[in-house]
Structure 1
Amino acid sequence: MSEPGFDADFPAHVERALEKFLCEAGDPIRAIEPITGPGVDALSEFVLGGGKRLRPTFAWWGWRGAGGDPDGPDADGVLQAVASLELVQACALIHDDLMDSSDSRRGSPTVHVAFAKRHADHGWLGSAAGFGQAAAVLLGDLALAWADDMFAAAPLPAQTLAAARPAWRAMRTEVLAGQYLDVHTQATGDASPEAALRIDRLKTAAYTVQRPLHLGAALAGADDRLIGALLSFGRDLGVAFQLRDDLLGVFGDPSITGKPAGDDLREGKRTLLLALGMELAGAQGRQADATVIADAVGDKDLTEDAVTEVREALTGVGAVAAVERRIEDLTSAALDSLDAAELAEPAPTRLRELAVQATQRKY
């Protein structure tokens, strides 16, 4: 039986499950080859060093809404299965930071930067940057491998895990496909709103909300109708969540977002906010604003003053207001799908709260 109170402060339960698994997974390789210790420790610190635990939380409420019993014999196993999503997230973030050449996350050096410094501090042979990049690739791969291990080892009946495997497989594939679509769009310079929305649907909506909900509901034996309603809810909410993140990426407080202001601009992310900014500036004949926005995208040396100019341009042409309207419309559509799902309480209430938290965060 599970310990009481899984519904209350669920992220704290996820934290404990991750801490236990990471210790059990890391100890054997440390014993076999102690030189791997710093890498294993770095991955554990990265996973346990913060995060909202959104993916496991959506999965848990998908399970609860489909009839999962928090006091039943499967609750502990479901907790472990959904907590494994945080290891997939760790893989995605470590690799994303490397691909975007990001220097910091959550106020600390990114993995590739930290290991490049380790190389330089020890005066090792070869390129410090190359060593940091290799370490980040390997630690991200380790996180993904351990995610599979944690999910597969969840103490649940074989048929229960088998029912959730289609969602698990789809989620892993979709997040990697979304990552590739993101870098491809940056490389080709596709600045269209349609391209930005394709990335949002695949990289964020599917991976952050849709598949976690699908996974949780499948663990509870949900039928196709219920899963379909949850997928609709997750699609619209996930895109709205990403659009809010896009706004925070340009307007957000670094102490809240964990990344320097304007980093999305420096990394060349082709967001809907920027796509609409360019489109609206062109339609209004505001060439100066269009140039300010276009020149900022991918500028690694973008200054704070330049970020301020981009903010003013995006606001002035109406792009910020347009994205806010889309967030509002998508959130409303998502909540309609949630109502149609007819989930067991308290799941609808909690999911509605999560929707508000995810889409109404301010700068």
Structure 2
Amino acid sequence: MASGLVSFFKKPIIGILPVMASVNPLSMNAENYLKAYSQKANKFLDSFFLKKKALAQKIDPDLGKILQVFLDSSKGGKRARGALTVLGYESSGGKNFEAILPVSCGIEMFHNFLLIHDDIIDKDRLRRGKPTVHTIYAQKRGEHYGNSKAIIIGDVGAFLAYELLLSSDFSKERTLEAVAKLNEFLLKTGYGQLLDIDYDFKKQISWEEILKVRTYKTAYYTIVMPLTVGAILAGASKSVLSAIESYGIPVGIAFQLVDDILGVFGSTGKTGKSNLSDIRDGKKTFLYAKALELLGAPEKKFLKKWYGAGDIGEKQTREIKKIIVSSGALDYSKKLAEKLVMEGKKYVPKITMDKKYQKVLESLADFMITRES
């Protein structure tokens, strides 16, 4: 799949439904689906953590507070991966929303566990407009304490996520199949993250290397994994699972392309994250690689000198943004994201014949590239 996408990139570029009764299925789009799901997931997670905090506080009062920090850090996002788990289940004929909801919340908890660790790696101080978990604790006893605390808080969240998956109301066979597939995707994500860390230290990075990271770190984990877990629990066929992968990889890479754009040009007020950290940390993104490919010698020299130079001034960051725009890399990345989404949407009819769910899947793909956060 990845090798096919490499050649795809080189082509020229031309310019939750019936269960969620409060929303009319016929008018459902991705944003409505995410909003409806998020309300139900938040309610479930509040109840779940209330019980877990009561048990943890019997060991030590502070443990209950720590679980609350994990829960609070998970709020404010789109809860897209949990919603996609439900969407994968429902679009494959699943009818038991009460059974899939806890599983989907487990997927959300895995997502938060990874974000907490990712924020440590990227030294990010803000997430969804709030201090990151390691930052909260670093303010008390320093950086090492903050990082150590956040790592274990993320781990505890992952342990609780497994509890939700393994205690689901689905058959043992389907549950084990879904968990095994989840582990497969989490392993891919870990490999992608390891490559991402190393590639940021490389002076030269190829399109193939960037694509590899984006496929393994983002595309499988963001789109393919949750849809697949839900579909497996509904008893989906192998052909449906294959179609989900064919849909999810290009859409997931498009999602990351937009994430890279927002990391440089996004509004901090909307993203809840800095729009300077990618530049200062020298993140090897599609945007950066394409700019280097398109720029003339003087601008390329400036970009290489200051991109990733650490805590540089606003003058240099403004100039870097200006250079990226003038190179055509920003426009190219936007058009590439659109083309990838079009490619992914071709497989929607192979995922489900239900027109309502086709509409949500298509709307979701479009939302991945029109979002502002």
Residue 50, structure 1, aligned to residue 76, structure 2: yes
2:284 to 256, 261, 270: 270
The aligned counterpart of 1:29 is 56
1:193 and 2:193 matched: no
156-165 or 253-262, which deviates more:
156-165
2:93 is aligned, of 48, 67, 72, to 67
Gaps of 5+ in 2: 1-18, 26-32
Change in 2 beyond 3 A, CA 1:5/1:81 = farther
- Post-superposition shift, 1:226? 0.8
Q: 1:174 to 1:22 in 2, by over 3 A?
A: farther
Equivalent residue number for residue 41 of structure 2: 14
Give the distance between the partners of 1:276 and 1:230, measured in 2 at CA. 29
Going from structure 1 to structure 2, the CA distance change for 1:299 and 1:348 (only over 3 Å counts) comes to same
Alignment map for 1:155-234 (pairs within 5 Å):
155-234=169-248
What is the TM-score when the length of structure 1 is the normalising length? 0.90
Q: Match of 1:187, SS?
A: coil
User: Where in structure 1 are there 5+ consecutive unaligned residues?
Assistant: 120-127
Spell out, residue by residue over 1:221-261, the C-alpha distance to the aligned partner (whole angstroms, 9 max, x if none): 00010110011100010000110111111100001111112
Which range is displaced more, 24-33 or 237-246?
24-33
Superposed, which structure 2 residues align to 1:102-113 within 5 Å?
102-113=124-135
Contact 1:205 1:238 survives alignment (8 Å): yes
Query: 1:353 deviation in Å?
Result: 1.2
Q: How does 1:1-363 map to 2 (within 5 A)?
A: 4-5=21-22, 9-47=36-74, 49-69=75-95, 74-119=96-141, 128-281=142-295, 286-361=296-371
2:146 match: secondary structure: helix
Tell me the percent identity: 27
Moved more, 300-309 or 93-102: 300-309
Change (3 A) 1:37 1:291: farther
**C-alpha contact (below 8 Å) 2:254/2:369 kept by paired residues:** yes
- 2:255 and 2:92 mapped to 1: Cα distance? 23
The size of the alignment, in residue pairs, is 345
* Cα displacement (A) at 1:151: 1.3
- CA deviation digits over 1:31-61, x for unaligned, max 9? 11223233222112112x3110111111211
**1:134-180 deviations in whole A, cap 9, x for unaligned?**
11111111121111112112222323313322321112212222211
Which ranges of 4 or more aligned residues in structure 1 deviate by more than 4 Å?
Answer: 2-8
The one-letter amino acid paired with 1:25 is K
CA distance in 2, matches of 1:55, 1:353: 15
